[in-house]
């Protein structure tokens, strides 16, 4: 039995050793996969860093180009402004003298025109005030009509809702009454079922009590059975009646549900009516908006009339100017002055546009510089994170190397266990051989002692000179017990070590996944940075 237990222990040890070997190969494959993934991530991070450097170089080139364009634009604008300013200064000096001679005559005509325009303005203001009062009165009337219609619609809606609420309450009360009747019917059926069960129990007790007197009480038993059958029949009829009542109640419930659906349909119709009322309100609001737009159109028409009167006044002025040669020449000179002033205004506007463009270019350059600084800072942060990831990867490599060393130690322990198992098997074989030899020697000595003299038979054999000394069974058992305990401890330690290695491998896998997610996040940040730079340019 000890031999079989030791052999089974040895078999289990070999099987677990094979499992540990398979697990070690699997761990080596996973470690190799992790190393490849780490190398790929490092290569991708280097590639992203190179792309970021290229983007920074391109941004610096674009910055230089923008600075050159800005300098050229400022120089050209400065030259153009200087030339145009000189020309306009000469024209202004020439026209100032003519303007001073014309100013007195123009002032007189202007005073007359201002008085005439004031009179027309007063007339237009009075007409506009009358139209405004009429429009205000119309708007007040429309507002009152709208409020009245809203109040009427609200009253109708409240009445309809109150009616529907009353119908809903009545239907709810009817439904609750039917539910109470249905619950009463269920209680009645439950009571009949309990009575039937009680009667059945009583009949069963009677049958059990008179089982010993079956022959003497056969007639009485048949009467009891017939009575019980009648009771059961009556109870079945009662149950059928209750089932019919329940079906009728279910039909009433269905009818009530139908009425409830009809009420819900009516509620939906009411909701649609309410929606229609809201639509009418919106149409009224749109009508008010249209009227407001019409009032705005009237105001614009008034403005057009004002402009037409101004046009007529201008035509009258031109007619008067046609009768007077001097006035025509003065008008032409005034038009020339106005054109010069317009040109000056255009040039001033162009100068302001150039100034604004220069300011925008300077702002763009400052933004580009800030973007460069931010990109440089982000690249430094990325390099620092890449260095950190490299250090973490080195640490993971060291941990993987430690795991491999521990796996090798486990393999050495496993080989040591195998050697101990082989030595144990060899010792068991030697012990069995020694026992067989000792048994054979004992039987031979007994046979020889039978042929010896009594004097020689009385002496005990000398075992010290036997070529096969017999082992003590207690010693062998103790040694085997110690060996079995040692094997169990070794197996337990190996199992604990395997579980620890598995947990460590899971931790390393999680850390590698976190590193990979961090690298992906860094890649997304670099991509977003590049896209932001491209969109900016």
pLDDT (0 to 100) of residue 537: 46
Alpha carbons 89 and 251: distance in angstroms, whole number: 105
* Residue among 399, 413, 418, 405 nearest 495 (CA): 413
pLDDT (0 to 100) of residue 200: 63
Q: Show the 3-state SS of 28-86.
A: HHHHHHHHHHHHHHHHHHHHHHHHHHHHHHHHHHHHHHHHHHHHHHHHHHHHHHHHHHH
Give the H/E segment covering residue 211.
none
Tally of CB atoms within 10 A around 410: 20
pLDDT (0 to 100) of residue 462: 41
Alpha carbons 245 and 208: distance in angstroms, whole number: 37
pTM tops 0.85:
no
pLDDT (0 to 100) of residue 468: 37
* Residue among 249, 262, 258 nearest 178 (CA): 249
CB 126 within 8 A of CB 289: no
> What spatial distance separates the first Cα and last Cα of the chain, rounded to whole Å?
88
Name the E strands within 213-336. none
pLDDT (0 to 100) of residue 461: 41
% helix, strand, coil for the chain, step of 5: 95, 0, 5
10-residue block means of pLDDT along the chain (537 residues)? Answer: 71 78 79 78 76 75 75 73 71 71 70 72 72 70 69 70 72 70 70 70 63 58 62 66 68 70 70 70 70 70 69 66 64 68 69 66 65 64 65 65 69 72 71 70 58 43 40 60 69 70 68 67 66 53
Give the H/E segment covering residue 525.
helix 473-536
pLDDT (0 to 100) of residue 209: 61
Spatial neighbors of 532 by CB under 8 A, at least 6 apart, are: 371
pLDDT (0 to 100) of residue 450: 54
pLDDT (0 to 100) of residue 76: 73
Name the E strands within 86-150. none
Helix 218-323 vs helix 2-209: crossing angle, to nearest 10:
110
pLDDT (0 to 100) of residue 455: 41
Q: Where does residue 417 rank: exposed (0-12), middle (13-18), buried (19+ CB within 10 A)? A: buried
Dihedral, CA atoms, 381, 384, 389, 395, nearest 10 degrees? Answer: -150
Please provide the size of the chain in residues: 537
């Amino acid at each position: 039995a000890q031999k079989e237990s030791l052999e089974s222990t040895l078999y289990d040890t070999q099987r677990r050793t094979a499992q540990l070997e398979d697990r070690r190969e699997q761990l080596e494959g996973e470690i190799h996969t992790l190393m490849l993934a780490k190398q790929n991530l490092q290569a991708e991070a280097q590639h992203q860093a190179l792309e970021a450097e290229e983007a920074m170089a391109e941004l610096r080139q674009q910055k230089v180009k923008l600075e050159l364009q800005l300098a050229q634009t400022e120089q050209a604008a400065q030259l153009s402004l200087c030339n145009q300013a000189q020309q306009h200064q000469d024209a202004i000096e020439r026209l100032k003298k003519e303007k001073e001679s014309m100013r007195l005559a123009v002032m007189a005509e202007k005073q007359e025109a201002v008085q005439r325009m004031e009179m027309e303005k007063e007339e237009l203001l009075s007409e506009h005030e009358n139209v405004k009062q009429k429009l205000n009165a119309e708007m007040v009337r429309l507002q009152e009509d709208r409020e009245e219609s809203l109040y009427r619609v609200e009253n109708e809606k409240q009445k309809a809702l109150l009616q529907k609420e009353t119908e809903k309450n009545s239907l709810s009360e009817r439904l609750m009454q039917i539910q109470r009747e249905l619950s009463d019917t269920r209680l009645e059926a439950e009571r009949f079922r309990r009575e039937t069960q009680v009667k059945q129990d009583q009949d069963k007790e009677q049958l059990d009590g008179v089982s010993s007197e079956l022959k003497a009480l056969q007639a009485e038993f048949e009467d009891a059975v017939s009575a019980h059958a009648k009771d059961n029949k009556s109870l079945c009829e009662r149950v059928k009646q209750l089932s019919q009542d329940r079906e009728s109640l279910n039909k009433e419930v269905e009818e009530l549900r139908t009425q409830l659906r009809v009420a819900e349909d009516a509620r939906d119709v009411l909701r649609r009516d309410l929606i229609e009322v809201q639509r009418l309100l919106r149409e009224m609001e749109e009508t008010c908006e249209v009227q407001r737009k019409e009032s705005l159109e009237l105001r614009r028409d008034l403005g057009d009339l004002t402009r037409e009167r101004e046009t007529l006044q201008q035509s009258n002025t031109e007619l008067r100017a046609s009768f007077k040669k001097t006035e025509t020449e003065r008008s032409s000179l005034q038009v020339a002055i106005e054109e010069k002033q317009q040109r000056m205004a255009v040039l001033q506007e162009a100068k302001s546009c150039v100034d604004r463009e220069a300011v925008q270019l300077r702002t763009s350059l400052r933004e580009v510089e800030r973007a460069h600084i931010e990109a440089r800072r982000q690249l430094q942060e990325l390099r620092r994170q890449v260095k950190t990831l490299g250090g973490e990867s080195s640490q993971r490599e060291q941990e993987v190397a430690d795991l491999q060393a521990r796996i090798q130690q486990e393999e050495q322990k496993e080989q040591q266990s195998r050697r101990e198992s082989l030595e144990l098997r060899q010792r068991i074989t030697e012990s069995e051989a020694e026992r067989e030899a000792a048994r054979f020697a004992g039987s031979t000595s007994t046979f020889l002692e039978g042929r010896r003299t009594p004097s020689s038979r009385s002496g005990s054999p000398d075992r010290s000179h036997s070529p096969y000394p017999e082992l003590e069974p207690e010693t062998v058992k103790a040694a085997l017990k110690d060996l079995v305990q040692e094997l169990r401890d070794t197996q337990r330690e190996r199992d604990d070590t395997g579980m620890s290695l598995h947990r460590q491998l899971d931790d390393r896998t999680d850390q590698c996944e976190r590193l990979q997610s961090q690298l992906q996040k860094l890649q997304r940040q670099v991509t977003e940075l590049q896209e932001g730079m491209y969109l900016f340019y």
